[in-house]
Amino acid sequence: MSSPNGPRVVVTGMGAISPLGVSVPSLWDGLVNCRNGIGPITQFDARRYECRIAGEASEFDPRAYLPPKAARRMARCSQMAVAAAREAAEQSELTGSRVDPERIGVLIGTAMGGWEKADEGTQQFRNSRSPRGNPFALPASLPNMPSHHVSQELQALGPLLTISTSCATGTQAIGEAGEIIRRGAADVMVVGGVEALIRDFCIAGFSGMRALPTGFNHSPERASRPFDRDREGFVFSEGCGVLVLESLEHARARGADIMAEVLGHGASADAFHIAQPNPQASGAIRAMRWALHNARVNADEIDYINAHGTSTPINDPLETLAIKTLFGKRAYSLPVSSTKSMLGHPLGASGALEAIACIMSIRTGMLHPTRNLDNPDPACDLDYIPHRARSAPVRTVLTNSFGLGGQNAALVLREFNH
């Protein structure tokens, strides 16, 4: 099915860094086997904090991807973006192919960017007597630096953008990258989301918002529990997901392996509260409805929903309400699961990693489970695939992301049909 606004957009490569490993196969193996990616924080001394757990990408070593000097001058988010983009480009066979570099664009989103570099530079400056600061600190901290470093890595000379829409970033980035291809501004877009800021000020700040769980410090594997009665909050994590999008004509011309099709997307605002979603879930409903409309699919064509599913007391029942409002009675027979139950919540990276999980479901016919769903909340009464992966025919999927500031985004992906 074609887009209403131009050429069909397909996925030809994927790359992932996550708490479950440093590749797409490791991510998918962990998800379908319901593995835990949450553990005690090791990136700083968290003993004095109310929440002392996070989803760390502990297997990621930037030295495996970058020269030592380059790695030192980059924020961790940029390091991860380069690594994931390299995996995606290699799978797509984009590197070394005869693709016009001026027709390759990059859009890597992030919610918070390389804030740690600004913090480090600020502390160094204030503790020294020098009138000059670290010349690398401020540039490294900018949120557009992951996109820059990926463009430099791939020598992509086309459109270069960054999206920062909090937790909706990764999903919205994919949708907007598809639109860039549809309007003819690029043939290829390397797109995704990244977050890598497990730092004391983030844990303290989100704890101050009462957004993080505090009762699972001694059992971190149980902390992320979307739709469960005993959930306390989201588990802060890190990671990066990158996809290579192409116009169908361009992908076919170079013989690329087509993994899935990006049918459409929707984005909306709550215009309600800086942190709390609209209590009628109206923004989430609009984003999902507009995504279906943009994709030209009916609600009864959706085979699976990858939920935003944060494990917060407010989000989970409201997302449930949104799904039931849009899908009616069919909502009760529609499988839904939360990737964050195993990864935690890597903010700007979450939507990109969840899109990768959706594409793997389309390709394998497997739906990953929701971990820790031991005692379902009565207000969360849908089929959330608890504990074990499920085999099911999967052709068309909807994936949701809802963020701070009332940012809502939804994306429709489909099995590629020649």
SS (H, E, C) 173-190: HHHHHHHHHHCCCCCEEE
Q: Which of 148, 265, 345, 368 is catalytic?
A: 345
Q: Is 321 helix (H, G, I), strand (E, B) or coil?
A: helix
For this structure, is 202 an active site residue? no
Q: Which of 34, 167, 202, 240 is catalytic?
A: 167
For this structure, is 345 an active site residue? yes
CA dihedral 122, 128, 132, 137 (to 10 degrees): -30
Residues 237, 369, 35, CA angle at the centre, nearest 5°?
A: 50
| Among candidate residues 120, 16, 41, 26, the one with its CA nearest the CA of residue 73 | 120
For this structure, is 368 an active site residue? no
| Among candidate residues 331, 325, 285, the one with its CA nearest the CA of residue 304 | 331
d(CA 116, CA 100): 35
| Among candidate residues 385, 311, 399, 389, the one with its CA nearest the CA of residue 352 | 399
Q: Which of 148, 250, 265, 308 is catalytic?
A: 308
d(CA 101, CA 415): 28
Token pair recorded at residue 357: 């999980």
Report yes or no: 298 and 292 within 8 Å, Cβ to Cβ. Answer: yes
Token pair recorded at residue 166: 């909090």
Residue 249, Cβ neighbours under 10 Å: how many?
11
What are the catalytic residues? 167, 308, 345
